[in-house]
Amino acid sequence: MMKFVIILIVLLLVSFQAY
């Protein structure tokens, strides 16, 4: 479950960087 949370955080960071 920890991996899933980390993946979500990474996706959010990537989204902010793309923006």
Distance separating alpha carbons of residues 5 and 19, to the nearest angstrom = 21
Residue 11 has what pLDDT? 97
Residue 1 has what pLDDT? 80
Q: Is the pTM of this model over 0.75?
A: no
Burial letters for 3-14: b for 16+ Cβ neighbours within 10 Å, e otherwise?
eeeeeeeeeeee
Tokens standing for 1?
């479950």
What distance lies between CA 17 and its chain's CA centroid? 11
Residue 10 has what pLDDT? 97
Q: What is the 3-state secondary structure (H, E, C) of the chain?
A: CHHHHHHHHHHHHHHHHHC
Using 50 as the pLDDT threshold, list the residues of the chain that sit under it.
none
